[in-house]
Amino acid sequence: MLDFLESSIGKKVLVALAGLLLIVFLAAHLAGNLFLFAGAGPFNHYAEALEDNPILPLAEAGLAALFLIHIILALRARWINAAARPQGYEVRADKGARTPGSRTMALTGLLLLAFLVVHLKTFRLAPEEARETDLFKLVVDWFRNPWYSAFYVAAMLGLGLHLSHGVQSGVQTLGFNHPRWTPAVRTLGTALALLLALGFMSMPIYFGFLGGAK
């Protein structure tokens, strides 16, 4: 087992598993954040219930581990592949088959990492009083900052690009690769990427640029 995890294929499997589990988290996180559209009462009640959940620290530690595994192993694999590529190798045989998502995986991954750091500092590490009294106001006030909302939207566009390739790649890495199913997986992956990206973008657009909840 350890030999498999140390192999290049094993590392790809870990990257894929971590990525797909993170997608599950993103879907659940989006579902909770959409309570913002219901108003201060429902959103603050949701946030309070989440904070009072005794397994929250364990879940956060698990999420941190998933992020680290996914980012470190993915970047390491990219660096190894780049180092192994011959100097004069300029034309890829699969160039025509590559998508914007596949070509920008490293770039969008770094953008999402930067967003994660800013997001945690802004909300999870915000003063305890601000989080406990009215988290809805804290979130909406940040969305009314045009620079923050613009960065948020840009990061979610990056998320959509990242997932548009990541879902299909992860599923294929785990062995679900068949001429009959690959087009369906590609379509579903693109739809999921679009749904998550638009869902997260809807909040800064509504509360920030459209002036919602005033």
> For 140-184, what is each residue's pLDDT tens digit?
999 999 999 999 999 999 999 999 999 988 888 887 777 777 888
DSSP string, 63-114: HHHHHHHHHHHHHHHHHHHHHHS-TT----TTGGG--HHHHTHHHHHHHHHH
Q: What is the pTM of this model?
A: 0.86
Query: Over the stretch 97-125, which tens digit does the pLDDT of each residue have?
Result: 678 888 998 899 999 999 999 998 888 77
- What is the CATH number that goes with domain 2-84+100-209? 1.20.1300.10
Residue 1 pLDDT class (50, 70, 90 cuts): low
pLDDT > 90: percent of the chain:
43
pLDDT of 79 > 90? The answer is no
